[in-house]
Amino acid sequence: MARIKKKGTSGAAKNYITRTRAVKKLQISLPDFRRLCIFKGIYPREPRKKKKVTKGSTAATTFYYTKDIQYLLHEPLLAKFREHKAVSKKIARALGRGEAGDAARLEKNLVPKIKLDHIIKERYPTFVDALRDLDDALSMLFLFANLPSSEHVPAKTISLCQKLCHEFEHYVIVSHSLRKSFLSIKGIYYQATIQGQDILWLVPYRFVQRTGGDIDFRIMGTFIEFYTTLLGFVNYRLYTTIGLVYPPKFNAKMDEQGAELSAFQVEGKSVGTDNASTGNEEAPAVANPEAQAIADKLAALPETEEEETALAPVQPVDEDEANEEIDKFEVTAPGADELPQPQASNAEVASLFAPFTFYLSRETPRAPLEFLLKAFGCKRIGWDGAFGEGAFTTNESDPSITHQIVDRPSLSNGAETSEDADTAPKVQWPRSTMPGRTYVQPQWVWDCINQSKLLRPDLYAPGAELPPHLSPWVKPKKGEYDPNLSLQEQEAEGEAAAFEEEEDEEEERADLKVNGDGNNVDALLDRESSVEAGEGMDVDGSEDDEDDSDESDEGPAADEFDGFDSDAESDISEGEAARLQHQRELEAEATGKTLEPEVETTKSKNAAIRKKAEKKRKQEEEERARQKMMLSNKKRKLLKRIEYGANKRDTEAETLRRKRRKLEKAKSAANAI
């Protein structure tokens, strides 16, 4: 006879283990268990059938995979945690006896140092795996690099995060890996393509950070400890891949004076020559750029051609062919598929700002602008001396400056009119504009980078209304509102006419409200004559009601009702209008007078356009309803859900277009005044 299985010894009950049992099994404290799980990448799991795991209990419990906990039993960090616990007891005993010197000696000599090198190798077998997991690491490190030092966040941790972040930024600058950037409410998003992997991270704005008491900095510190080790390994591999010395030389004195990126000096590995690059200059030709070049080329190719090209040798590119203009695929027929347009080469984008010399005004954010301009080829960036060291020039009147980035209202060189010439004082340099220099707002840099070309600087002049700053990762779909297109290109047929009619009706209502105190007698008379049933004090069954009911049964009264608009009535009205026109022509011919053409008003044109659009839309709805009848019930429900989403999207797009139309109308009215 087969042995009967005991309940809770197999299946889901055996595959999961509670956190309490896991801590007892590992024989460590709960904080050490959390720290170990963060290092190893082990997270809580939710069973599919929780009652089978908890044996019918409904209490809130955290579960882990039993195999994950079994895997932690052989972790070398467990011995380090136990040693640290033993030393902590000795230090506490020494402090209790008042032996501060012994406690300091124990802390200096016996506290074990935890290294995470082997964990990095376990979690990321290949370098590509580490690059794929670099998004959260960079976002967390840049966040801590901008935090103020406090009891929970020591200054040593902040300086380490700043050092690693600046090293990574220098690699992005030298390798020209940066692709896109976006200004958002949370901060500044950056995207770099490194060895075929897209890395996206967030850098917060440099505001005064007030950290609350509801933040567990102990957990975040554990992540920082792991991420600093990871980014250190990644930076070393990236620098050595393109032939740079790691770590780069660090000038502590310049860093104390606010140099930031310029405090690091990047050098290439070469024998007998001094190939150095400071923060103001680009690194020279590196010793081994093939890996990055091949990876960038493979990343730019379609997925179907990657395998074939990876095996073939890289052919040299002809300079004449590389300098030719990029072809553009244009749509030949309406409604045809739009092909993806080819983008500019990496070399052209990398040298976008190379021929210019920039000067950053004091009100502009220096750190992101310096990083972006250097990443796209600019070698000469100046700023005010109050910003810190490392500037190409601190003289705002330097004639070599071609572009100045300002973020303040426009300032004229003098009085605008002759009447104010005597009273208004002239604005003197350096607050006035320099001839031959281009003044732009900071958004110009971001938009040029996202569109991979230099945009018109007059659209970003100081004090000008800036164009919309859109996310480069969100592409508008068909039917959605696109701020880059005009209203005529994206609005539906008859939408503009309906909007103008609504505007006219709103103006009429506003006039009635203004003149509602007795000045507009016709409006009041119309209101009194249009009393509906139920508004007055008529008694049910009176003689007036009977007369009205008798008249409503007759034909002429029924014809006067114009509540429903049908196709037949529209055809009759058009035929009646043609007949009246023909009669007027005959009368004019008989009397010998010339018939003056009727002037079609804008209101009548809009009404005709709207009526035509409604008729077309009604026909399309009827045709769609007939097609739905041929579908099964399951497909009809699926189509209903699809139509709900499409209608919601169309409603949102129409609302945005209405808002834009109102703004444009108000702007045109203000300009006319």
The per-residue pLDDT for range 330-375, each reduced to its tens digit, is 656 555 555 555 555 667 788 899 999 999 999 999 999 999 999 9
Q: Name 147's Cβ contacts closer than 8 Å, sequence gap at least 6.
A: 153, 158, 209, 211
What are the Cα distances from residue 673, in Å, to 74, 463, 546, 660? 80, 20, 58, 20
Q: Name 617's Cβ contacts closer than 8 Å, sequence gap at least 6.
A: none
Q: How confident is the model at residue 534 (pLDDT cuts 50, 70, 90)?
A: very low
Cα–Cα distance, 245 to 247 (Å, whole number) = 6
Cα–Cα distance, 75 to 219 (Å, whole number) = 20
Q: What is the mean pLDDT of residues 240-259?
A: 90
Its sign, for the CA torsion 364, 366, 370, 372, is: negative
- Contact assessment for residue 236 and residue 246, using Cβ atoms and an 8 Å cutoff: yes
Cα 426 from chain centre: 42
Give 354's DSSP letter. T
**Helix or strand or coil: residue 271?**
coil
Crossing angle for the helix pair 217-241 and 155-175, to the nearest 10 degrees: 30
The per-residue pLDDT for range 309-336, each reduced to its tens digit, is 333 443 444 444 444 455 565 656 555 5
**Helix or strand or coil: residue 83?**
helix
Per-residue model confidence (pLDDT) at position 430: 46
- Contact assessment for residue 363 and residue 442, using Cβ atoms and an 8 Å cutoff: no
pLDDT > 50? residue 543? no
How open is the CA angle 86-89-90, to the nearest 5 degrees?
90
Q: What is the mean pLDDT of residues 168-179?
A: 94
Q: Give all strands of the β-sheet with 380-383 in edge-to-edge order.
A: 380-383, 357-360, 403-405, 438-440
Average pLDDT, the chain: 77
Give bridge partners of residue 188 from the DSSP assignment: 183, 203
Least confident of 86-95, 141-150, 485-494, 578-587: 485-494
Q: Where in the chain is the domain with CATH 3.40.50.10190?
A: 353-412+428-473
In the chain, how many H helices and how many E strands?
Answer: 27, 12
Q: What is the mean pLDDT of residues 386-411?
A: 87
Q: How confident is the model at residue 497 (pLDDT cuts 50, 70, 90)?
A: low
Residue 523: how many other CB atoms lie within 10 Å: 15
Radius of gyration of the chain (CA): 37
Cα–Cα distance, 183 to 469 (Å, whole number) = 8
Per-residue model confidence (pLDDT) at position 575: 66
Cα–Cα distance, 512 to 527 (Å, whole number) = 11
Q: Name 358's Cβ contacts closer than 8 Å, sequence gap at least 6.
A: 369, 373, 378, 380, 381, 382, 401, 402, 403, 404, 405
For domain 353-412+428-473, the question of CATH label 3.40.50.10190 is answered with: yes
Per-residue model confidence (pLDDT) at position 13: 81
Position with higher pLDDT, 526 vs 15: 15
Least confident of 106-110, 324-328, 433-437: 324-328
**Helix or strand or coil: residue 332?**
coil
Q: What is the mean pLDDT of residues 561-569?
A: 46
Whether omega for the bond prior to residue 247 falls within 30 degrees of 0, making it cis, is yes
